[in-house]
Amino acid sequence: MIDPSEIHPVSITVAPNGARRGKSDHQAIPLGPDEIAAEALACRTAGASILHLHVRGADGRHSLDVGRYREAIAAVRERTDIVIQPTTERCGVFQPRDMMAVARGLEPEMLTFNLQELLDPDDATRQAEVRDFLSEVDEAGTVPQYIVYSPEQVDVLRHWWEEGWVPQARPFILIVLGRYAGTISRPADLLGFLPKIPREWRWGLCAFGAPELACVVHAALLGGHCRVGFENNLVAADGSPLTDNAEQVARLAGILRQFALALATPDEARHMLGLRPAAQEKG
């Protein structure tokens, strides 16, 4: 029998640009603050409740600049109430200190990072620093989403949680299927992760390439949340180009509704994840 307390609406996160793709990949990839804000509104209207935010520098490359984040966040906030979730992805350019600077400079309602990117090098000194940082993020009221790329990374995160070094009682993780380097995502790949995830945790999934939609629907049917967007995929299942991010959000939202799965609004996502009101973000 299903415990009614475990039934929750599905949150759709949109990742509209990522760290690597540009206009040469698809003209609808939003890069500047105004484009990001317009795309956030369109995706919110289509059914998304969370915006996974990347910003770019003047040269168009991936940036973790706090000032650029603030500019983009302000533009989005003027247009929509969507939850804003900045990334701390290193992308082979930045260092753990840069990841930490994003959290400290913004104190956002949400944030994403990969534990292994913080643990570099993975020695006693860095472990102590990262434990203090995770506590600092929690005390600031920011809810992190931990990015995991393999079942082995779930094992490491679970060890940290069992040791009390991850302060959240119910961590929220994002499972990533596939890679930029041509790895094909398959819905069945999710099954290698699920036995390792404690019942208390919340989880979502994103997937690279044309199988994106099949993978995230599979995740939602198994109790997870969904992330779609041009960061991971530019095409429909048949390989034809998607018009924009909102098109894929709308496709996913329509399928989930057909399966009688409720979609979380931004306010419902905030309540479900224990987020503070957006107005309390650091300006």
What does DSSP say about strands 55-56 and 62-63: parallel, antiparallel, or unpaired? antiparallel
Confidence (pLDDT) at 280: 62
What does DSSP say about strands 83-86 and 110-113: parallel, antiparallel, or unpaired? unpaired
CATH class for the domain made up of 8-276: alpha beta
pLDDT digits (tens, 9 = 90+) for 119-164: 999 999 999 999 999 999 999 999 999 999 999 999 999 999 999 9
Write down the residue that tokens 């509104």 correspond to: 41
Average pLDDT for the chain: 95
Residues 6+ apart with CB under 8 A from 128: none
Residues 6+ apart with CB under 8 A from 22: 29, 31, 60
Confidence (pLDDT) at 102: 98
Of 241, 173, 171, 183, the closest CA to residue 207 belongs to 183
Confidence (pLDDT) at 4: 46
Residues 6+ apart with CB under 8 A from 233: 207, 208, 209, 210, 212, 242, 248
pLDDT digits (tens, 9 = 90+) for 37-68: 999 999 999 999 999 999 999 999 999 999 99
**Exposure b/e, 96-121, CB count within 10 A at least 16 = b:** beebbbbbebbbbbbbbbbbbbbbee
Confidence (pLDDT) at 182: 64
pLDDT digits (tens, 9 = 90+) for 159-188: 999 999 999 999 999 999 998 666 779 999
Q: What is the pTM of this model?
A: 0.95
